[in-house]
Chains A and B, each alone.
Chain A
Amino acid sequence: MHRRNFGRLLAAAAFAFASATAMVSTPVLAQEEKTIVGGFDVGPGGFPGNFNPLTATAGFTWLNTYFEPLVIYTSDLSKLDGALASEFTVSEDSLSYTFKLVDTKWHDGEPFTSVDVKFTLELAKNADSGSIFAARLADIASIETPDEHTAVVKLNKPNSAFLSVLSQVMMLPQHALSTIDIKEVAKSQWWSTKPVGTGPFKFAKYVSDQYVEMAAYDGYRGGKPKVNRLINRYFANAAAAVSALSAGEIQFTFAEPDDAKTFKGNDNFRIIEGDSYVVNYIGFNHKAGIWSDLRVRQAVIHAIDRNAIISSLFGGAAKLANCGYVAPRLVPNGLHDYAYDPQKAKELLEEAGWDDINGDKAIPWLTYYNTPQVANVMAAIQAMLAQVGINVVPRALDVPSYSGIVRSEKFEEFPLVYAGLQNGPNPASLNIGLNAAQIPPAGNNIMRVEMPQLTEALNTAMAETDPSKADPKWQQVCKEMNAELPWSPMWVASRYGVASSKLKDFFWTPAPAGGPFVSHPEKWDIAP
């Protein structure tokens, strides 16, 4: 064979190989069944690989497709409604909660009764079960079951956060779990193989690290689900999920703001935007010794052009925050707006004697956010602070490294952080990060804020169990934060989900920890 023929032979072989490759086309799911595939555990609201609601710190969007709590937030997260409780009443002394239960059955056909409520709450209150709700349910004194459809929970003392906590405690079947030793419950394979709930979908299959599959529960009290199957696909990161969405393999995912923007104007997709309920702040470590003077803290916030960052780097998708809240009902009038004023920042620093406090020495600035957007935000702030003489050096860490450092006593390692803290729907969530009584190891006041007036305001608001009287008390917390600047509050950014326009009646909201919230999965539908 001539050299040229040999080359042709090789070329032919290469062509045959390429053709064979192209012929292996992507299979699609059988179309006779309506199936929605989504990345429901992608992003900060998800918790892939966890099926046990007692140990779930997030992921409630997905858990809520097959388990249900007694009470649940409305879809706009404005108030709590009944879920497995058709109605609930609170006694005048705020010590007794009576739940009237819906008439429904577990996926295995057994009736759901008050015995299940008692069993679940006792399991969730007992740390031996691995429950992460144990401390938050510690105020429960007793649970009574006067009849099959009534459960009465009595507390030792009033607890303004009780119902909010209860919204994440998914009811569990006593008949299925009571035979498992309480210390073995968390390790049980039941959660990932045959869990039984009351929600619109039944657990069908879990393929480790790949996906979870649900089947429609025909007996759901809210009506038979419109789709036959619901699949939650796992992704190593949000970008991979966005690729799968773009490729038409899934119909929904959480998306980082930059990724969400790429779908703008594309009729094949619908961008869902919502409040993240997380206030981002520049946290001053009050034990670091360089932020003690209020004028220095004021200088930091005056030096940052927050409006410019919101408009340029967030594309306008963030709300300016001058305390830990942005919800209008929690923000009083007359707050200091800390407008961008670098000249004023310089003057404040000079008055405070910044040159002697720190001068141009580098200040490590830690964060656990690892997105390109946050990197840009921090770079912009770094440049703005440098203009007034504050030399910060951003450093992004993974979450465990960050949390490990900020809980330690090595204050020189984290004089400054860029972080976020949940500020709703229950406003009490800020207490854990700002109350002097919550300084580690006692709590999560990682910036070691010790401000007596702020602590008093938080304690007063926390003690108010009447929702109609609570808002003015939380406004006082906002006022104290605004005046004393335990942190430099920045903004509350929007969060995004992107759904295929094939999805009909699909509802999702970017709730903290994924909710849960009323989302009616039984109504979700998909066009062919």
Chain B
Amino acid sequence: MLQYILRRTVVGLLMLLALTVLIFTLLRLTPGDPIDAYINPSVPMSAADLVALRTRLGLDQPLPVQYFAWLGAAVTGDFGYSIQRGGEPVLPLVLGRIGPTILLMFSGLAISVVVGIAAGILAAVRRNQFADLSLSTAAFVGISSPAFLTALLGLYVFAVVLRWVPAGGMLTPGAPFSVGDLLAHLILPAALLSIGHGALIMRYMRSSLLEVLSQEYVRTARAKGVREFWVIVKHAVRNALLPVITVIGSTIGIAIGGAIFIESVFDWPGMGLLMINAVVRRDYPVIMCATLLTGACVILVNLLTDIAYAAVDPRIKVA
């Protein structure tokens, strides 16, 4: 087992190394560099100043030299400085963004699970009635609405027109921290993030519950005089939840993508906003560190999953 873990760890590290080579190469293949992003094309800088800036940032060096310089520093934990942020160190910058992204993602996921399951149950229980039809229609709209449209529409209606919630950011600038303030900023992006997944979960819950409700044991429970509430909660919902949980698990990946998009619309200071800004500005050190960290998380989760499988299922070869 230990050998298996070591082998997977080595493979994981090699994958990370390959990822850094790939991202580094792809970044350099795209036209433009941080200097091009640094200057406004309408207000050009002199050529000599451009050359000096390029030299200072090491961009005049051949690519392999730049890569190994970066790698050499990165293995010691030095991910350099952000080019576009006046020398802000990259590692604390990137680490500081994980929390807000997780908060947004899991809040969105929590809302989608709670609302999706509740709506799914209601739709199944009220099959073909007004509640079912309205909820099913809402779910179809939710699934088919592009995220950018719902995000912008939600922002306009709830923040600009109704002014129920702030139009962006994570905390009110200059105000002391308070949970209420955080929640006020969180509720709209999290709710909008939950729409797609919530609708999907609702559909799965509805069909799963309908299937379970037609099972023999449910009929038996009813025949035995068990009250409808307990039939649904104790007998049906628990069983119907199993396939839904699988769906919830598989949508976490999609939630990460959605969170990145929502972050950019709502100026939510998470990894998504950081990455988008870094790519637009060709801030190589930030992109490299953020990619490496995200890649490491994915590889680590996969490794842990495989180890868990190997631990519980002896049929999986560990040698």
Contacts and interface: CB of A to CB of B under 8 A. Distances in A.
Contacts of B45: 57, 132, 444
A2 interface: yes
Nearest to B230: A1
B93 A243 contact: no
A240 B85 CA distance: 21
A6 B232 contact: yes
A229 B184 CA distance: 23
Interface in B67-93: 81-82, 84-88, 93
A207 B120 CA distance: 41
A234 B277 CA distance: 12
B174 A211 contact: yes
Interface size class of A (residues with CB under 8 A): 35 or more
Nearest to A13: B118
Interface string B156-187: 10011001111111111111001011011001
Interface residues of B, number: 82
Interface string A222-257: 000000010101111000100110111100000000
Contacts of B112: none
B87 A52 contact: yes
B96 interface: yes
Given A191-B86, A400-B32, A402-B32, A210 B171 contact: yes
Given A235-B168, A244-B167, 4 more contacts: A6-B125, A10-B122, A247-B160, A441-B47
Contacts of A113: none
B32 A399 contact: yes
Interface string A91-133: 0000000000000000000000000000000000001101011
Interface stretch (A26-34, A67-75, A352-360): A26-34
Tell which of B30, B45, B175, B267 has the most Cβ of chain A within 10 Å: B267
A49 interface: yes
Interface stretch (A78-86, A338-346, A376-384, A414-422): A414-422
A187 interface: yes
Tell which of A17, A49, A191, A440 has the most Cβ of chain B within 10 Å: A49
B33 A400 contact: yes
A192 B86 contact: yes
Interface string B29-42: 01111101111111
Contact of B40 (A58, A130, A233): A58
B183 A398 contact: no
A235 to B, nearest CB: 6
A509 to B, nearest CB: 15
B44 A432 contact: yes
Contacts of B41: 368, 399, 402-403, 419-420
Contact of B273 (A11, A29, A186, A236): A236
A17 to B, nearest CB: 8
Tell which of B163, B170, B174, B229 has the most Cβ of chain A within 10 Å: B174
A50 interface: yes
Contact of A421 (B44, B53, B81, B276): B44
Contacts of A188: 87
B43 A57 contact: yes
Given A1-B228, A419-B42, A512-B43, A25 B277 contact: no
B40 A57 contact: yes
A51 B82 CA distance: 13
Nearest to A419: B41
A249 B166 contact: yes
Interface of B: 30-34, 36-49, 51-53, 55-56, 81-82, 84-88, 93, 96, 114-115, 118, 121-122, 125-126, 131, 155-156, 159-160, 163-175, 178, 180-181, 183-184, 187, 191, 227-230, 232, 264-267, 269, 273-274, 276-277, 280-282
A485 to B, nearest CB: 20
Contacts, number: 250
Given A10-B121, A49-B85, A240-B167, A211 B49 contact: no
B43 to A, nearest CB: 5
B173 A207 contact: yes
15 contacts: A50-B84, A50-B85, A58-B40, A58-B43, A187-B81, A189-B87, A208-B269, A210-B170, A233-B169, A240-B267, A249-B166, A399-B32, A403-B37, A443-B46, A443-B47
Given A7-B122, A134-B49, A404 B33 contact: yes
Contact of B267 (A127, A229, A235, A404): A235
Interface in A9-53: 9-11, 13-14, 17, 21-22, 24-30, 35, 37, 44, 49-52
B60 to A, nearest CB: 12
Given A14-B118, A24-B187, A513 B40 contact: yes
B163 to A, nearest CB: 6
A140 to B, nearest CB: 14
A240 B265 contact: yes
Nearest to A27: B181
Contact of A236 (B32, B125, B232, B267): B267
Contacts of A249: 166-167
B180 A187 contact: no
Contacts of B36: 399-404, 407
A262 B280 CA distance: 28
The 5 nearest A-B residue pairs measured at CB:
A400-B32, A1-B229, A135-B48, A404-B32, A404-B31
Given A1-B229, A133-B49, A7 B131 contact: yes
